[in-house]
């Protein structure tokens, strides 16, 4: 059974403002992805082949998926996300037809961005051998994907974004001109970006007086965007629990009953 059919096709609701930092990358992406999608006619007029795809690379949890979704949102394009390993598993249960089916689905949803997360798991350099080297299966999957990318055209607007933490082990064929030929590095966030990520993650939460996003950025050097989001979620959970416990304590006092610390500790985690 193909898991692909379950992959949702929809315009994501991720906005640029949900992504902290990476301002330069956001600008770069607009030109690379938006122009070919929105001004296809101009490319044709100038006899230019619009780019078919980009490759995002960089450490995990720094916004590759978010970026891909935000650009789809901005262009009003549909978005299909497929994880590399998922595609391989599918292969074992099916045939080359699965990859064709995926591209068919994307073309039908045009304009569409097809996002291959962990693309290195299928696109390891072919015939390289070595630990975790290529197998017949992944060779055939990647060959099929490459030929589908080469076949993009015919008035359908389909844009491919690949994401990887390991560009060094990728099949160079994937990055040949006309395929994922633009590389975009998405780094660990710097100080200003960490500030922006805290701000984005806490935009709906009240924060302690005197605490600034700058101070939070000071103490989180080396943290990824995903780490920072996790910190904010945990802090919010504690704060929610605190306010529930103190709320109950207030109610009890109204009824002239005191709440003990043991009782408070025993209260369930609210989230
Ligand atoms: P992976 O390589 O693990 O797939 P990724 O680079 O695709 O990681 P995302 O999935 O985009 O990372 O980010 C994971 C989560 O971390 C996001 O859902 C978001 O909550 C948070 N996050 C990461 N980077 C940022 C950022 N720049 N701004 C705001 N949130 C971020």
Banded model confidence at residue 250, pLDDT cuts 50, 70, 90: low
| ipTM exceeding cut-off 0.85 for this assembly | yes
Give this prediction's pTM: 0.81
Measure the CA angle with vertex 209, ends 203 and 214; round to 5°: 60
Taking the centre of ligand 1 as the mean of its atom positions, its distance from the CA of residue 127, in whole angstroms, is 32
- In degrees and rounded to multiples of 5, residue 150 shows phi and psi of -60, -30
**Percent of the chain whose predicted confidence (pLDDT) is above 90:** 39
Q: Tell me if 162 CB under 6 Å of ligand 1.
A: no
Q: Is the minimum distance from the CB of 120 to ligand 1 under 6 angstroms?
A: no
Looking at the DSSP bridge assignments, the partners of residue 152 are none
> What pLDDT sits at residue 6?
62
Q: What is the mean pLDDT of residues 105-126?
A: 87
Q: Tell me the per-residue pLDDT of 168-214, one tens digit each, with 9 for 90 and over.
A: 988 888 998 889 988 999 999 999 999 999 998 998 888 889 999 99
Strand order in the sheet with 158-164: 78-83, 112-117, 158-164, 53-57, 182-185
197 phi-psi bin (left φ>0, alpha ψ -120 to 50, beta other): alpha
Task: From the CA of 66, give the closest atom in ligand 1.
Answer: 11
The set of residues, in sequence order, having a beta carbon less than 8 Å from that of 166 and lying 6+ positions away, is 57, 120
The whole-number pLDDT of residue 245 equals: 84
Highest mean pLDDT among 33-37, 90-94, 150-154, 221-225: 221-225
229 or 244, greater pLDDT: 229
Task: Evaluate: CB of 165 within 6 angstroms of ligand 1.
Answer: yes
Q: What is the pLDDT of residue 128?
A: 47
pLDDT at 131: 41
Judge if the beta carbon of residue 226 lies within 6 A of ligand 1: yes
Residue 79 predicted with pLDDT over 80: yes
The more confidently predicted of residues 271 and 110 is 110
Residue nearest to atom 31 of ligand 1 (CA): 225
Nearest CA to ligand 1 atom 25: 225
Count how many Cα atoms sit within 13 Å of the Cα of residue 72 in the half-sphere of its side chain. Answer: 30
User: Mean pLDDT lowest for which of 104-108, 209-213, 248-252?
Assistant: 248-252
Is residue 65 lining ligand 1, measured as CB closer than 6 Å?
A: yes
Both tokens of 169, joined, read 């082990």
| 208 vs 215: CA distance, rounded Å | 12
Mean pLDDT rounded to a whole number for the chain: 83
83 lines ligand 1 (CB under 6 A): no
The pLDDT of residue 252 is 59
Question: What per-residue confidence (pLDDT) applies to 191?
Answer: 95
Residue nearest to atom 3 of ligand 1 (CA): 60
Q: Provide DSSP, 85-140.
A: HHHHHHHHHS-THHHHHHHHHHHHT-SEEEEEETGGGT-BPTT--STT---HHHHH
Q: Report which ligand 1 atom has the smallest distance to the Cα of 230.
A: 20
């Amino acid at each position: 059974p193909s898991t692909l059919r379950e992959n949702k096709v929809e315009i994501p609701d991720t906005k640029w403002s949900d992504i902290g930092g990476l301002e330069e990358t956001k600008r770069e992406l607009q030109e690379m992805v938006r122009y070919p999608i929105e001004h296809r006619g101009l490319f044709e007029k100038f006899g230019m082949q619009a780019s078919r795809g980009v490759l995002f690379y960089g450490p995990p949890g720094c916004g590759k998926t978010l970026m891909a979704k935000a650009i789809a949102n901005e262009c009003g394009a549909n978005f299909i996300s497929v994880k590399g390993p998922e595609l391989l598993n599918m292969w074992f249960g099916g045939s080359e037809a699965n990859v064709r089916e995926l591209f068919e689905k994307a073309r039908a949803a045009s304009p569409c961005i097809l996002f291959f997360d962990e693309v290195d798991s299928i696109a390891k350099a072919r015939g390289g051998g070595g630990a975790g080297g290529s197998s017949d299966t992944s060779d055939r999957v990647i060959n099929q994907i490459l030929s589908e990318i080469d076949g993009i055209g015919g008035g359908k607007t389909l844009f491919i974004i690949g994401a990887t933490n390991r560009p060094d082990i990728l099949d160079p064929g994937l990055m040949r001109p006309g395929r994922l030929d633009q590389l975009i590095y998405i780094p660990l966030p710097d100080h200003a970006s960490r500030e922006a990520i805290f701000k984005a993650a806490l935009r709906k939460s009240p924060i302690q007086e005197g605490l600034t996003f700058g101070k939070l950025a000071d103490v989180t050097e080396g943290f990824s965007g995903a780490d920072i989001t996790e910190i904010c979620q945990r802090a919010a959970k504690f704060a929610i629990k605190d306010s529930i416990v103190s709320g109950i304590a207030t109610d009890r006092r109204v009824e002239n009953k005191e709440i003990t610390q043991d009782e408070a500790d025993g209260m369930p985690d609210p989230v």
